[in-house]
Amino acid sequence: MNIIIINGPNLNLLGEREPEVYGSESLSEVNTWIENHEICADLSLEFFQSNSEGSIIDFMHEKCHSADYMIINPGALTHYSYALRDAIVATQLKTIEVHLSDIHNRENFRKISVIKSVCLAQYYGKGKHGYIEAIKHILESR
Ligand code: DQA
């Protein structure tokens, strides 16, 4: 099974960026941890990060026929990107939304996700473990 794992704007700064909110590990450390997790043993994972909405959408277009599922932490795009929402619908990628922090217990604008209704599930507030929860969701829903 092929799963693409996308991280959006500013997530390249993980480890340096507000570590009290997002943790002290870098994105490549988190990705390596995911890749080496026992539940990923039989999975093909492809990681992508971009600070650009258009590049994320282009990547989705490119992968939509080869990926079985998409896990995405869209960063702040979560809260306002109807283009990202449309791309999920247009590509028909089965998508799980992940957030490191507890978006429901922060500023009000973070409580809104414009992609939630086109995703299979939303995980938040569990740090890097949210990505594993998303993979478990995929494995259990097969
Ligand atoms: C985030 C939460 C968003 O509100 C924020 O803009 C991010 C990261 C998270 O992982 O908790 O960039 O998606």
CATH number at residue 89: 3.40.50.9100
Q: Tens of pLDDT along 120-136? A: 999 999 999 999 999 99
Ligand 1 neighbourhood includes 103 CB (under 6 angstroms): yes
Contact assessment for residue 123 and residue 99, using Cβ atoms and an 8 Å cutoff: yes
Does the pLDDT value for residue 142 go beyond 90?
A: no
Distance in Å, CA 79 to ligand 1 centroid: 9
Residue 129 annotated to the active site:
no
Ligand 1 neighbourhood includes 81 CB (under 6 angstroms): no
The sign of the CA dihedral 141, 29, 59, 87 is: positive
User: Which ligand 1 atom minimizes the distance to the CA of 109?
Assistant: 4
Listed residue (110, 115, 125, 112) closest to 6, CA to CA:
115
Q: Tens of pLDDT along 59-112? A: 999 999 999 999 999 999 999 999 999 999 999 999 999 999 999 999 999 999
| pTM across the whole model | 0.98
Q: Please give the residue range of the domain that contains residue 12.
A: 2-141
Report pLDDT for 117: 98
Q: Tens of pLDDT along 3-52? A: 999 999 999 999 999 999 999 999 999 999 999 999 999 999 999 999 99
Report pLDDT for 4: 98
Residue 124 annotated to the active site:
no
User: Which ligand 1 atom minimizes the distance to the CA of 73?
Assistant: 13
Total number of domains constituting the chain = 1
Report pLDDT for 76: 98
